[in-house]
Amino acid sequence: MVDAAAQPGSLVAFGVGVHFEGLRALEAVDLRLARGEILGLIGPNGAGKTTLVNVLSGYQRPSEGGVRLDGLGTAGWQPHHFARNGLGRTFQAARLFPEMTVLENVEMPGVGLGLSRRQARARAEALLSDLGIIHRATVPAQALTYGEERLVGLARALALTPKFLLLDEPAAGLSPHEARELMQRIAAVRERFGCGVLLIEHNMQVIMRLCDRVQVLARGKTIAVGTPTDVQASTEVRQAYLGASGDAGIAIAGKAAAAQAGQALLAIENLVVDYGSARALAGVSLSVCKGEFVAVIGPNGAGKSTLLATITGLVKPKSGTIQYEGRRLGAEPPARRVRDGIALVPEGRRILSNLTVEENLRVGETVRRGDPEAARRFEHVLATFPVLRSRLKGYAGRLSGGEQQQLAIARALLSGPKLLLLDEPSLGLAPLMIEQVYETLVKLNEDGLTILLMEQNANRALLAGDRAYVLRHGVVELEGPTATLRTDPAFDQAYFGFDAREGIATH
């Protein structure tokens, strides 16, 4: 417990709770960032990291607890009060002013602090030289590459001469080389300005190399604080990411069928996808055979959702091929692919909450309307998810998270898929619910449905699937039968990206 008393020289959050309409995003979280320190903030998707940064920078008012900045109480402050009192932050997206030059972008905070234009310019130029991008000073921000954008975003935050700097995923979307360079810049910034740096990052290498201390959030609570080595060794942390390792009992009874070298239903070759100048997938190849249950496991930002968006036709690949049922997919729109049997259960479920449960299911049936099988399929799906039957007339937004997940799966099944794609079905669910969802998936697979699943919850996915791929930074790092991967010492290296000797102490 951090003392709520004034602590000059540090940024302190005490007992912070944030509630969004029934959802507890944060619960009694304490955090202390001293000047000159680099503190890593990590945690799986939905842990509350960005919410905490929003609280620390005044963008989100906490429901409980509060923040002290350099010994000052911040109750009632607006974000610009935080900024003027020495708090700089970057956003997940760089949010530069696209039409202004790089120099103008970086001058802006200085002008806002009341410097003359000349002083602000001098400071901006110095920062851009420090960060090694002064040669791009006169270029409009929209012409920057993605990596440069991140650096300019950092320069702009530094132009406030912050005492504390909050960086929200600065390395997201950077190449390993760029990420390494950014790490050096951040370390240099700390040396030069003596400011405290809070770093949210999914790139574990960045976190482990750079941070003095690491704080781990999961489900809105702090589950560990300590040196990188301590945190790496913590089984709790490992579980928060990979899910509880439940090797007891849940062995999957004979699905030998999948082991057969069946015919490929989906075959992806060398898929490359860019978002603007950021590379999301860098040459991914994978295949799914008929009747198989394949898991793609990887941390946040690995490219899992992008992979699914490309298979469903929401995103166009830059290069590479996707073959489905032996036919190469080209420009078919998503609706066409659904008709051909590719159904997606999207991340976060994307229930149509203003529609009733029944209407949601009818939406799922769109491509099979008039199909003689439709009525039977509808009954079958309701039999699989009996809880939905009792809620048919109720609004879908009223369902609990687990029920919504079932509805999302039911909706996808009603399109009569041959290939069911799922994006992190365990996200935000209680352990018991996760178990139930997985049991359903295994059952569906045993009944002959081909499944391709994206998961962060590696342990659960490795128990259910036949084969798995480990995806990190848009590259397949490891693949093999799940039975092998479960015990493969190379798995952690592939998932977290640690050097072997720095690796998490398991067992």
Residues that bind other proteins in the complex, under the rule CB under 8 A = 50-51, 54, 59-60, 312, 314, 333-335, 338-339, 343-344, 346, 350, 352-355, 359, 362-364, 366-367, 369, 397, 411, 415
Residue 363: CB minimum distance to other proteins, A: 5
Residue 61: CB minimum distance to other proteins, A: 11
* C-alpha to C-alpha distance for 364 and 369, rounded to whole angstroms: 10
Question: Which of residues 141 and 396 has its CB atom nearest to other proteins in the complex?
Answer: 396
Question: Which of residues 366 and 506 has its CB atom nearest to other proteins in the complex?
Answer: 366
Q: Which residues pair with 12 in a beta bridge?
A: 32, 68
* C-alpha to C-alpha distance for 490 and 494, rounded to whole angstroms: 6
Q: Which residues pair with 467 in a beta bridge?
A: 294, 481
* C-alpha to C-alpha distance for 276 and 11, rounded to whole angstroms: 35
Q: Name the strand (E) or helix (H) holding 38.
A: strand 38-42
Residue 50: CB minimum distance to other proteins, A: 8
Question: Which of residues 319 and 353 has its CB atom nearest to other proteins in the complex?
Answer: 353
Question: Which of residues 369 and 501 has its CB atom nearest to other proteins in the complex?
Answer: 369
- Give the strand pairing for 467-472 and 475-481: antiparallel
Asked whether the beta carbons of 441 and 268 are under 8 A apart, the reply is no
Question: Which of residues 350 and 380 has its CB atom nearest to other proteins in the complex?
Answer: 350
Question: Which of residues 408 and 494 has its CB atom nearest to other proteins in the complex?
Answer: 408
For residue 464, the SS3 value is helix
- Give the strand pairing for 164-168 and 87-89: parallel
Tokens standing for residue 295: 């898991």
* C-alpha to C-alpha distance for 66 and 275, rounded to whole angstroms: 37
Question: Which of residues 312 and 405 has its CB atom nearest to other proteins in the complex?
Answer: 312
Residue 52: CB minimum distance to other proteins, A: 12
Residue 41: CB minimum distance to other proteins, A: 17
Residue 120: CB minimum distance to other proteins, A: 29
* C-alpha to C-alpha distance for 31 and 85, rounded to whole angstroms: 18
Tokens standing for residue 307: 């992979």
Identify which of 264, 266, 268 has the alpha carbon closest to the alpha carbon of residue 324.
266
Tokens standing for residue 2: 């951090």
Question: Which of residues 6 and 363 has its CB atom nearest to other proteins in the complex?
Answer: 363
Residue 316: CB minimum distance to other proteins, A: 14
Residue 346: CB minimum distance to other proteins, A: 7
Angle at 175 between CA 185 and CA 147, to 5 degrees: 55
Question: Which of residues 360 and 440 has its CB atom nearest to other proteins in the complex?
Answer: 360
Residue 59: CB minimum distance to other proteins, A: 7
Question: Which of residues 54 and 203 has its CB atom nearest to other proteins in the complex?
Answer: 54
- Backbone phi and psi for residue 81, each to the nearest 5 degrees, phi listed first: -65, -40
Question: Which of residues 60 and 232 has its CB atom nearest to other proteins in the complex?
Answer: 60
Tokens standing for residue 487: 């015990």
| 368, amino acid identity | R
DSSP code per residue over 82-140: HHHTTEEE--SS----TTSBHHHHHHHHHHHTT--HHHHHHHHHHHHHHTT-GGGTTSB
Tell me how long the chain is: 507
Residue 254: CB minimum distance to other proteins, A: 33
* C-alpha to C-alpha distance for 457 and 324, rounded to whole angstroms: 27
Identify which of 326, 294, 331, 327 has the alpha carbon closest to the alpha carbon of residue 441.
294
Residue 393: CB minimum distance to other proteins, A: 12
Is residue 448 exposed (0-12), middle (13-18) or buried (19+ Cβ within 10 Å)? Answer: exposed
* C-alpha to C-alpha distance for 233 and 244, rounded to whole angstroms: 16
Question: Which of residues 454 and 458 has its CB atom nearest to other proteins in the complex?
Answer: 454
Residue 210: CB minimum distance to other proteins, A: 26
Strand boundaries in 252-406, DSSP class E: 264-275, 278-289, 293-297, 319-324, 327-328, 342-345
Tokens standing for residue 340: 């051909």
